[in-house]
Structure 1
């Protein structure tokens, strides 16, 4: 399967709520560029993120007839505690165009927002926010770990202002 281009896989619909928006509605396993608000930032009074970063779409669901709500998990270089992240294999990092430093997908916190939202950013050097897609096996491992952490009451989801 060829890697996705930054503008998204062909044939995916654009957001009907934003007809002038050229970006396709994201799907689970897509990796986007986003201003991610960490729970620790939120807890210290921040309403806006301090850094844009790649995130993985965990859930994309129709919230209303013309609104898609996304839940995204952050990708970071800072190792989380054991059981709170999944390593992003280096070949996948390269395919997505991320740097060579070790990256992990955090499985204990997520942000929720309505697509496209004010915190979506184009990938550096590109016009669209999509880096690409992680493989199905990695997505399933991510989803399993997120469900495990949520079931153990080990999930944070800071409230974002829209």
Structure 2
């Protein structure tokens, strides 16, 4: 039986990501499970719950300059992802209480995560994300 991992920055999880456009169309659950990178995990003092922010990974090339960070092939291999070009989208994210109902098992594996991105690559993701969201606002919130 798979154990739910501790939410840590840089961990790539399987997650039913809800895109902003899906949320605006009235959907309350993502249409596809996808790898997503945890960029923030904060324990709330009031109730001990952990609030997590994830960024989605997609095969779609970014349409906004600086809107995504391409994942290097060695990192994709390390995570066990396919060999198609992929990007971490930094223009939006989902925020939710851990573990949440949208955490999924990785396809054909008895686990919820793919592993961690290397620290240097995580820093690139975080830098790009913070450049667009310095206050952390405008994120889709999910409970």
TM over 0.5: yes
Q: Which of 34, 42, 53 is 2:15 aligned to?
A: 34
Shift of 1:159: 3.1
State the TM-score, normalized to the length of structure 2. Answer: 0.91
2:101 counterpart of 1:118: yes
Q: Which structure shows the higher strand fraction? A: 2
Instruction: Give the Cα separation in 2 of the matches to 1:34 and 1:119.
Output: 6
Instruction: Give the Cα separation in 1 of the matches to 2:67 and 2:137.
Output: 10
Cα RMSD, aligned residues only: 1.8
Aligned 8 A contact 1:75 1:106 in 2: yes
Q: Which of 51, 66, 76 is 1:69 aligned to?
A: 51
> Across the two proteins, how many residue pairs are aligned to each other?
140
Aligned 8 A contact 1:109 1:155 in 2: no
Partner-residue secondary structure (3-state), 2:133:
helix
2:26 counterpart of 1:45: yes
Aligned 8 A contact 2:105 2:111 in 1: yes
Based on CA coordinates, which of the two structures has the bigger radius of gyration?
A: 1
Shift of 1:155: 6.6
Partner-residue secondary structure (3-state), 1:148:
helix
**Superposed CA offset, 1:40-76 (max 9, x none):** 1011111111000000000011024531111000000
Query: What runs of 5+ residues in structure 2 fail to find an aligned partner?
Result: none
Instruction: Give the Cα separation in 2 of the matches to 1:129 and 1:70.
Output: 15
Partner-residue secondary structure (3-state), 2:92:
coil
Instruction: Give the Cα separation in 2 of the matches to 1:46 and 1:23.
Output: 26
State the TM-score, normalized to the length of structure 1. Answer: 0.81
| Over 2 Å off, 4+ runs | 153-156
Alignment of 1:86-97 (within 5 A): 86-97=69-80
Residues 96 and 72 of structure 1: CA distance in aligned 2, closer, same or farther (over 3 Å): same
Aligned 8 A contact 1:39 1:156 in 2: no
